[in-house]
Amino acid sequence: MAIPQGPNQRWSLDFMSDALEDGRRFRVLNVIDDFSREYQS
């Protein structure tokens, strides 16, 4: 896999999940620019 040479060339996606103290679960999608390591929401 080629190393990105600038922003917006390659992105990584990752789901994370957790649970609140009252038992409710939630899931978050993380989107990260592999060059700058900036998170997008």
Best CA proximity match to 39, nearest among 23, 26, 25, 28: 28
Question: pLDDT digits over 7-40, tens only?
Answer: 889 999 999 999 999 999 999 999 999 998 877 6
Q: Which residues pair with 25 in a beta bridge?
A: 19
Strand order in the sheet with 11-19: 11-19, 25-33, 39-40
The pLDDT assigned to 1 comes to: 81
* 3-class secondary structure, 1: coil
The sign of the torsion formed by the CA atoms of 30, 41, 37, 31 equals: positive
The pLDDT assigned to 16 comes to: 96
Best CA proximity match to 7, nearest among 41, 40, 34: 34
The pLDDT assigned to 37 comes to: 82
Give the global pTM: 0.64
